[in-house]
Amino acid sequence: MSKISAFFIAFVMFLSYQANVHAEEQPQPEVISEAACLLDTETNAVLYNKNADVKMYPASLTKIATAIYAIEKGDLDSVAVVSGNAVRQDGTRVYLVEGEQLPLKMLIQGMLINSGNDAAVAIAEHLDGSVEAFSAKINEYLKTKVGVQNTHFMNPSGLHDENHYTTALDMAVITNYAMKNPIFAEIYGTKKLWWEGQSWKTNILTHHAMLKGEFPYSGIIGGKTGYTSQSKQTLATTADNGKIKLTAVVLKSEQKQDKYRDTAVLFDYGFSGYQHSILNRNETFTSEQQEFFPKQDTVITEDLAGTVKKVNDSGLLTIENHNGQLLQSVQLMSKKETEHASVSQLSDGKKKIEKEEQKQGLDAVNSVYGVLIIGAALIIITAGRKFAKKV
Closest-CA residue to 154 (of 120, 188, 191):
120
* Phi–psi pair at 306, nearest 5 degrees: 130, 135
pLDDT at position 359, please?
61
Packing angle, helices 62-73 and 131-141, rounded to 10: 90
**pLDDT tens for residues 32-83?**
999 999 999 999 999 999 999 999 999 999 999 999 999 999 999 999 999 9
Closest-CA residue to 206 (of 124, 92, 69, 62):
92
Among 33, 60, 157, 253, the active-site one is 60
Please determine, for residue 229, whether its predicted confidence score (pLDDT) is greater than 60.
Answer: yes
pLDDT at position 268, please?
98
Among 50, 63, 232, 259, the active-site one is 63
CATH match for 26-274 among 3.40.710.10, 3.40.50.1220, 3.50.40.10, 3.40.50.300: 3.40.710.10
Please determine, for residue 250, whether its predicted confidence score (pLDDT) is greater than 50.
Answer: yes
**pLDDT tens for residues 288-331?**
778 888 989 999 999 999 899 989 988 899 999 888 889 999 99
Among 33, 50, 83, 115, the active-site one is 115
Q: Contact 29/143 with Cβ under 8 angstroms?
A: no
Mean pLDDT over each residue of the chain, to the nearest integer: 86
Please determine, for residue 383, whether its predicted confidence score (pLDDT) is greater than 60.
Answer: no
* Residue 60 appears among annotated catalytic residues: yes
* Residue 63 appears among annotated catalytic residues: yes
More confident call, 150 vs 325: 150
pLDDT at position 357, please?
56
Tell me the average pLDDT across 3-11. 44
d(CA 132, CA 155) in angstroms, rounded, equals 7
CATH 3.40.710.10 range(s) for the chain read: 26-274
More confident call, 65 vs 375: 65
Q: Contact 307/320 with Cβ under 8 angstroms?
A: yes
Q: What is the pTM of this model?
A: 0.81
CA distances from 350 to 222, 338, 344, 353 (A): 55, 18, 10, 5
Return all residues near 210 (Cβ < 8 A) that are at least 6 apart.
216, 217, 220, 223, 237, 260, 263, 264
Please determine, for residue 190, whether its predicted confidence score (pLDDT) is greater than 80.
Answer: yes
Closest-CA residue to 210 (of 201, 200, 220):
220
Return all residues near 158 (Cβ < 8 A) that are at least 6 apart.
57, 58, 59, 60, 61, 62, 63, 164, 226, 228, 231
